[in-house]
A and B are shown apart, each in its own frame.
Chain A
Amino acid sequence: MITKRWLGIGLAAGGLLLVLTLLAVDLIGAGDYQGIGPAQRLGLLGGGGLLLIGLSLIPLGDRPA
């Protein structure tokens, strides 16, 4: 059984990974847009949200997810 803490860690890690990947897209120059494009902005928003939700779940500890 997965706990709220582990669910939180998983979601936060997923969100962080998404944010870093989308930022890396600019560093390597992929994509059609200069700067942050509309789809990228949508992804960053989603990744950031996932990160925050994940972090807020970690304090809930060993309760079942």
Chain B
Amino acid sequence: MIRWPDRTIRWVSYGLIVAAGAAYVGYFLVYAYYAYRLLLFPFDYDQGEGFELLDTLMLSQGRLPYLDSNVYPFYSSNYPPVYHLVIVPLIWLFGPQYWTGRLVATLGTLITAGAIGYGVYRAQGRRRWWLVLLASLAYFASNYVYHVGPLFRQHLFLVMFETLAVVIAGGVIAREEKTGRQSNRGWLVIMALLLLAGYTKQLAYATVAAVFIFLFLRQPRRAVLWAVPFAGVTGLVFLALNLATDGQWVVTTVSANINEFIPGQAIGLFRQWFTLHPVLILTAAGYAIYQLYGERLSVGAIWFVIAALNSVTAGKWGAGESYFVTAVAASCLLTGVAFSRLLDWLCSRGWSWQPAIGLRAETAALAVIPLLFLVQAEAVFHLPTHTPWLQTIARALGKPDHTLVAPQTSCSAPRPAEPIPYVDEAFILIGRPPTDRDTAAGRRIAAVIAAGKTPAFSEEAGFNLYVGRDVVTNPTQLLNLYKAGELDLTEMIAMLDSQAFDTIVFRAQFYPPPVLEVIGQRYQTTELVEMNGFVYCILQPKY
């Protein structure tokens, strides 16, 4: 029989820990580089960023962005204001710059990863910093977090509030049960975080439910006592916003968000989520099942299950991978806690196969856990490959050194596929760092608008903001309102019909069909500009 001396395996495990650490630090550096490139990029990278910048700009001027979309500038926001309010001081200081929101969002992801690490650290009997680090960095390594984290989007700021609320809830309950004293101050902080999450993005309801279910399982009466004022304050803020916007708050943040459910989209995204995060999901699910039958349910386990179930809402039109990020954060937390507790348990038992094969169970686990993190690292592979040494890394890892993809053309003839220096297991056209060429393309579109006299009727806000013109329309919001029967297109169609705008900018043609129809009749394509893998169509009046 082959003997595996414990010391040898322990050295192997150290090597695997170092390798896993290097992989995840590598992913963090990739994330940091992408965030840095985005900070330098002065236009929309993801459609919707400019509208969040406009929301922030309006709030910085004391105006609410929940407007009547039936009248010029046909704009309304469909997101609550907390994320934008946090950025307002930066807008006061530096003006309407994309980097402000991108910086705040990126800092939010750092706080989320820190909270995950703290949650894991707190669950450990014996300190294992490498496991704290791996669980935290696994969050950044997720393709979904990488794609959306450094963007001027509110979603991952929501996940930050959610993660903080859950981690603090676990700590407060543990302290209460240890000392026998209730901490109402602790729960007040948790309620405030949940309220902030809800007014960052509506999707927070799943985490609110998870925290209240957890409290109900432990202290049912107290859960009801906290639920009443929480619902009251949430409702009062809702009513105040609705009154202040003359009813537009309900139309723009509720009616415009009830979109059709596409089962195929939901199933496809669930499959992708599992393919990308198998180790995190299986470990978290296994630990949740163990807690359900073997001990008490923790807030992390309840959060993971509810967040995973709620991810089905990613099947709504307009939703996407970011809807899984709460489940990703929960799985990182639960995986770190599960492995920490497993190691503590094996250590306390002192189980050993010696002398049969000369190996202690704890040592075996110490080797298997970083190996599993390496398997997880392989599943989420993504890497920009714009330099020879990054291409060498990709090839050395058995990956291609480029991706062959055709530019997205919704408003022009299809173009042939071209190699781009970015590789991603979940390629969705975002994730490749923007280049100087993309910045030049954005400036070209802005220059066309600047040459005219009116704001552009544009699918993205960035070009009008860049040249200091009004932002006109929010296309997906208009389409949602149109589908919900809440949009009167009379004024907009009259303006387009009279060629009141001297430039139209299309990227995906998300406008309602009657709007596209009148544009087709009164405008013609004059220039095509490719930026970030999308072909933008510039249209000007037919004379």
Residues of chain A whose beta carbon lies under 8 Å from any beta carbon of chain B: 1-2, 7, 38-39, 42, 46, 53, 56-57, 60, 64-65
Residue numbers in A under 8 Å from B129 (CB-CB): none
User: Across the interface, do A1 and B219 meet the contact criterion of CB distance under 8 Å?
Assistant: yes
User: Across the interface, do A2 and B263 meet the contact criterion of CB distance under 8 Å?
Assistant: no
CA distance A39 to B263 in the complex (A): 6
User: Across the interface, do A60 and B263 meet the contact criterion of CB distance under 8 Å?
Assistant: no
- Interface window among B32-40, B70-78, B292-300: B292-300
User: Across the interface, do A46 and B217 meet the contact criterion of CB distance under 8 Å?
Assistant: no
9 residue pairs, one from A and one from B, having the closest CB atoms: A38-B263, A2-B217, A65-B217, A64-B296, A39-B263, A39-B261, A65-B297, A2-B220, A1-B218
Give the nearest-CB partner of B296 in chain A.
A64
Considering the complex, which residues of chain B in the window 261-281 have a beta carbon less than 8 Å from any beta carbon of chain A? 261, 263, 266
Residue from B217, B261, B309 within 8 A of A7 (CB atoms): B217
Residue numbers in B under 8 Å from A46 (CB-CB): 309
Interface Cβ pair total, 8 Å cutoff: 26
Residue numbers in A under 8 Å from B266 (CB-CB): 42
User: Across the interface, do A1 and B217 meet the contact criterion of CB distance under 8 Å?
Assistant: yes
Interface readout for B202-214 with A: 1 if CB under 8 Å, 0 if not?
0000000000000
The B interface is mostly helix, strand or loop, or mixed, namely: helix
CA distance A41 to B219 in the complex (A): 35
CA distance A2 to B261 in the complex (A): 35
- Chain A nearest Cβ from B386, distance in angstroms: 42
Residue from B216, B217, B312 within 8 A of A42 (CB atoms): B312
Residue numbers in A under 8 Å from B292 (CB-CB): 53, 57
- Chain B nearest Cβ from A60, distance in angstroms: 7
> A1-B217, A7-B217, A42-B263 known; A60 and B297 CB under 8 Å?
no
- Chain B nearest Cβ from A57, distance in angstroms: 7
Q: How large is the interface on B (under 10, 10 to 19, 20 to 34, 35 or more residues)?
A: 10 to 19
User: Across the interface, do B296 and A65 meet the contact criterion of CB distance under 8 Å?
Assistant: yes
- Chain B nearest Cβ from A22, distance in angstroms: 14
Residue numbers in A under 8 Å from B309 (CB-CB): 46
**Could you list 13 A-B pairs, sorted by A, with CB under 8 Å?**
A1-B218, A1-B219, A1-B220, A2-B218, A7-B217, A42-B266, A53-B292, A56-B293, A60-B293, A64-B217, A64-B296, A65-B217, A65-B297
Give the nearest-CB partner of A50 in chain B.
B309
- Chain A nearest Cβ from B210, distance in angstroms: 14
Known: A57-B292, A65-B296. 19 other contacts (CB 8 A): A1-B218, A1-B219, A1-B220, A2-B216, A2-B217, A2-B220, A7-B217, A38-B263, A39-B263, A42-B263, A42-B266, A42-B312, A46-B309, A53-B292, A60-B293, A64-B217, A64-B296, A65-B217, A65-B297
Give the nearest-CB partner of B261 in chain A.
A39
Residue numbers in B under 8 Å from A39 (CB-CB): 261, 263
Residue numbers in B under 8 Å from A65 (CB-CB): 217, 296-297
Give the nearest-CB partner of A1 in chain B.
B218
Interface readout for B287-322 with A: 1 if CB under 8 Å, 0 if not?
000001100110000000000010010000000000
- Chain B nearest Cβ from A46, distance in angstroms: 7
Residue numbers in B under 8 Å from A38 (CB-CB): 263
Residue numbers in B under 8 Å from A60 (CB-CB): 293
CA distance A64 to B293 in the complex (A): 10
Considering the complex, which residues of chain B in the window 161-210 have a beta carbon less than 8 Å from any beta carbon of chain A? none
Interface centre among B217, B219, B261, B266 (most CB of A within 10 A): B217
CA distance A65 to B215 in the complex (A): 11
- Chain A nearest Cβ from B357, distance in angstroms: 36
CA distance A60 to B216 in the complex (A): 19
- Chain A nearest Cβ from B368, distance in angstroms: 28
- Chain A nearest Cβ from B483, distance in angstroms: 15
CA distance A39 to B266 in the complex (A): 10
- Chain A nearest Cβ from B411, distance in angstroms: 31
Interface centre among B216, B219, B292, B293 (most CB of A within 10 A): B292
Considering the complex, which residues of chain B in the window 230-272 have a beta carbon less than 8 Å from any beta carbon of chain A? 261, 263, 266
Residue numbers in A under 8 Å from B312 (CB-CB): 42
